[in-house]
């Protein structure tokens, strides 16, 4: 039975995978096929300015459904990077530990008186020429099963050739997705890593689809987040939250460049210190990474949907290096006088109420 999937692409470009079938076996209209949406999305970016290396960890939970509410888990996403990434598994707990660091402080006050690695499928340099394009090549630089995904790192000199290569292997690359690839492949010469959920029924049971976080480490001139989306997603209105934790040697700010304003907000910035880093660092699983007292953590939140701009998100040193904190969470304790004043006020109010009731009743009888 022929089947194909199409999927709404998140920040790192999720795309549907299909049971191998001819290109014309799938209509591009989402209501007639499988719909995959991002339920939540977070990322940790660790920037090593001296080594010009970015460690990128992404965690996303997807929901997938087909006509008749049939869960579908056979999907994946594409991630462009300026150089060949090293793929390793990370621990989801890193996100939770970083969230503890940036959570509002709880302040107790008296209540005011007024109430106030390894490879699979072959890791060789395997060049393949696309049919009808003698000069176009697609190279498989690496392949690995990591974090519940089957991942393959691809290098191509033509976006159409890469789209054709993916289509022949069961990925359905619609025209908008092929157009999305062009700036990365044709203009920048970047590599593209294709992830898809590994064939493990136990890990993909149910409508909610989750996987273990994956770390991608690669050389880069500056830290970035793949923010661009295909042009057929510009009408998307599904509410979503993108949360980015940025770890660097200074306070950072995000920019889309070319006059485009990023709608992301800086919600927390500071130096967690040795005690603050203790909970999160082991779960990042970055060999040799030991942030010191002067390492900064910046947290961004982006609620925009659809995302504006046709460029990726770049991070640079913030002009203002002042720490930012969320508003304190105030917890009130009992009054020092044991609450006598509020109790007296309550009794006085009740007495006044009774008096006015009797007065008005007597007045009505006259």
Largest Cα span, the chain? 107
Q: Record the pTM.
A: 0.74
Tell me which residue of 75, 80, 206, 97 sits closest to 148, measured CA to CA: 75
The three-state secondary structure class of 337 is: coil
309 Cβ partners below 8 Å, 6+ apart?
227, 228, 256, 260, 262
CB 220 within 8 A of CB 53: yes
What are the structure tokens assigned to 148, written together? Answer: 């519940």
Mean pLDDT of the chain: 76
Please count the CA atoms within 13 angstroms of the CA of 191 that sit on its side-chain side.
20
Q: Helix, strand, coil shares of the chain as percentages rounded to 5?
A: 20, 35, 45
131: exposed, middle or buried (Cβ count in 10 Å: 0-12, 13-18, 19+): exposed
Instruction: Kindly report, residue by residue over 233-276, the tens digit of the pLDDT.
Output: 766 666 778 899 999 999 999 999 766 789 899 999 999 999 99
Instruction: Kindly report, residue by residue over 153-174, the tens digit of the pLDDT.
Output: 999 999 999 999 988 887 778 8
- Give, for all 366 residues of the chain, the pLDDT tens digit: 433 333 333 334 444 333 332 222 222 222 235 555 555 679 999 999 999 999 999 886 655 555 554 444 456 788 999 999 999 999 999 999 999 999 998 878 777 655 444 343 334 444 454 444 447 899 999 999 998 888 999 999 999 999 999 888 877 788 888 999 999 999 999 999 998 877 765 544 444 455 688 999 999 999 999 988 888 776 666 677 889 999 999 999 999 976 678 989 999 999 999 999 999 999 999 999 999 999 999 999 998 877 777 889 999 999 999 999 998 888 787 655 555 555 555 666 666 667 666 766 666 666
């Amino acid at each position: 039975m022929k089947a194909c999937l199409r999927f709404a692409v998140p920040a790192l470009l999720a795309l549907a995978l299909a049971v191998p079938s001819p290109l014309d076996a799938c209509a591009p209209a989402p209501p007639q096929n499988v719909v995959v949406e991002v339920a939540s999305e977070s990322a940790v970016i660790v920037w090593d300015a001296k080594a010009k290396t970015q460690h990128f960890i992404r965690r996303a939970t997807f929901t997938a459904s087909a006509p008749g509410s049939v869960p579908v888990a056979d999907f994946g996403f594409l991630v462009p990077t300026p150089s060949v990434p090293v793929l390793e598994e990370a621990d989801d707990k890193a996100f939770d530990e970083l969230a503890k660091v940036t959570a509002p402080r709880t302040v107790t006050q008296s209540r005011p008186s007024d109430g106030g690695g390894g490879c699979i499928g072959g890791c060789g340099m395997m060049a393949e020429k696309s049919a009808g394009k003698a000069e176009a090549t697609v190279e498989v630089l690496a392949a690995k099963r990591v974090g519940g995904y089957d991942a393959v790192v691809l290098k191509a000199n033509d976006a159409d050739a890469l789209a054709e290569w993916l289509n022949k292997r069961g990925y359905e690359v619609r025209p908008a997705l092929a157009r999305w690839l062009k700036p990365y492949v044709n203009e920048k010469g970047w590599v593209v890593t294709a992830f898809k959920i590994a064939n493990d029924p136990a890990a993909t049971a149910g409508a909610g689809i989750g996987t273990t976080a994956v770390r991608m480490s690669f050389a880069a001139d500056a830290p970035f987040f793949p923010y661009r989306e295909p042009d057929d997603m510009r009408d998307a209105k599904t509410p979503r939250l993108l949360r980015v934790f940025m770890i660097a040697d200074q306070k950072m700010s995000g920019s889309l460049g070319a006059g485009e304003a990023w709608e992301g907000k800086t919600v927390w910035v500071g130096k967690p210190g040795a005690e603050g880093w203790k909970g999160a660092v082991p779960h990042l699983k970055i060999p040799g990474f030991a942030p010191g007292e002067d390492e900064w953590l910046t947290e961004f939140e982006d609620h925009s949907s659809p995302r504006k701009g046709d460029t990726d998100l770049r991070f640079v040193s913030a002009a203002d290096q002042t720490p930012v904190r969320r508003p304190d969470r105030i917890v009130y304790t009992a009054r020092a006088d044991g609450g006598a004043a509020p109790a007296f006020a309550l009794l006085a109010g009740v007495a006044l109420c009774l008096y006015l009731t009797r007065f008005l009743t007597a007045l009505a009888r006259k």
